[in-house]
Amino acid sequence: MVYSFQESKRLISRAVRVIPQGIYGHLTPVITVPGSYPYYVSRAKGSRFWDVDGNEFIDYMCAYGPMILGYGHKKVDEAFARQARKGACTTLASPLSVELAEKMVDIVDCADWVIFAKNGADTTSIALVIARGYTGREKIVLAHEGYHGTQPWAGTNSVGITPADRDAILMVPWGDSAAFTRVLESNRGQVAAAMFTPYHHPVFSDQNLPGPDFWPEMRRICDREGIILILDDVRAGWRLDLAGSGHYFGIKPDLACFSKAMANGYAISALVGTEKMRIVASKVYATGSFWFNSPEMASALACIDELITIDAPAIVRERGEALMEGLQEQASSHGLSVTLSGPPSIPFMTFANEKNFMRSQLFCAQCALRGVFFHPHHNWFLSTAHTEKDIHKTLNVTDTAFKIVKEHFGY
């Protein structure tokens, strides 16, 4: 018996009349496999969610990263609710902002100070402003297919973007320090900052971990050229290392952006920086109506405590390794060749010699129809709520999905 999604379909047909695309952005059904996935959730708990048709899913997207301790985590949710009763959005800052900043300065390798915001994109944008303020230069180097949000400078959209929005942006392949050096040579004295993710996690592609020389080399080049090195750790932050992914890969950036896993699903982000950036950071006017909301800070404090107590990065790595190994073995047993890439806690799978992702779409659709939620084009996420039993159950489903791919495509 496979799932059906009648109520999801009913809701989306109402939604398209009142919401552009019905569901826009990263949750849009257009980028999964329309018809084989649910569109609307009714509740979520632990490693699972239930859609509006009552179907149950083991969720390997974890809300695209924020859910690191599992949905509905008691300590985090209670911390949020307790603080919300005391006042969520207030005229003065909460002492929790001091407590949380002190905690982050304690645990994050490159953090001497912290600016809180709501979304990852808030922090990547402020980081550029601070880097430009510090250097008095304009240009920014980014990686092709890197994602830093939907701001015009970030290059995600084509509609509504003018050439001027991207005039000061220079692009290089991720992980290519020689290309970076060449770009600097033709823009000498003009580059304020380089912003990269700690490893490369593009959509529609294998993930790419840095070689041992990449980050030390980038640090040397940036120091030599007076360029601010910004690490966008919004996606990977705290799934690899609670001191930050910079610490994990042996790089100390000047600025680093965190968000997704900070508060297990509550809306908070943080830009952290080193001592040398402090004065410029304090001169930049950065704010938003909800940036000092205290319940999110309470939930972040509870989340961090729990991540430390249980050594969350070790748990998600172990579960991810079991999933990756299981998928690799299963694919071979069906005569299929797949690549599992990225860190085990944030894995992704592609079929060999990929051209159009049709096999990934069929594979993921067949999993979704049987209660396992993977994305065909975007990396997956593990949480500490995923159990060995979940992985076992998942591998039962993927066995069927591999079989169907083999029967349908033959390779």
Ligand X SMILES: Cc1ncc(COP(=O)(O)O)c(C=O)c1O
Contacts with ligand X, residue ranges (CB under 6 A): 119-121, 124, 147-149, 197, 232, 234-235, 259
Residue with token string 């179907």: 55
In the complex with ligand X, which residue's Cβ is closer, 149 or 402? 149
Q: How far is the CB of 227 from ligand X (least distance, A)?
A: 19
In the complex with ligand X, which residue's Cβ is closer, 146 or 344? 146
Q: What's the rounded Cα separation, in Å, for the pair 181 and 309?
A: 42
In the complex with ligand X, which residue's Cβ is closer, 235 or 317? 235
The answer to whether the beta carbons of residues 259 and 120 sit under 8 Å apart is yes
Q: How far is the CB of 118 from ligand X (least distance, A)?
A: 8
**What strands, in cross-sheet order, belong to the sheet with 228-232?**
113-117, 269-273, 255-258, 228-232, 191-196, 139-143, 169-172
The answer to whether the beta carbons of residues 105 and 114 sit under 8 Å apart is yes
In the complex with ligand X, which residue's Cβ is closer, 128 or 397? 128
In the complex with ligand X, which residue's Cβ is closer, 50 or 64? 64
User: Which residue's CB atom is positioned nearest to ligand X?
Assistant: 120
Q: How far is the CB of 378 from ligand X (least distance, A)?
A: 9
CB neighbourhood size of 324 (10 A): 21
The answer to whether the beta carbons of residues 340 and 327 sit under 8 Å apart is yes
Name the packing angle between helices 95-107 and 294-310 (round to 10°): 30
Q: What's the rounded Cα separation, in Å, for the pair 237 and 78?
A: 23
The answer to whether the beta carbons of residues 231 and 199 sit under 8 Å apart is no
Q: How far is the CB of 299 from ligand X (least distance, A)?
A: 16
Q: How far is the CB of 147 from ligand X (least distance, A)?
A: 5
Q: How far is the CB of 239 from ligand X (least distance, A)?
A: 12
Q: What's the rounded Cα separation, in Å, for the pair 120 and 271?
A: 9
In the complex with ligand X, which residue's Cβ is closer, 197 or 360? 197
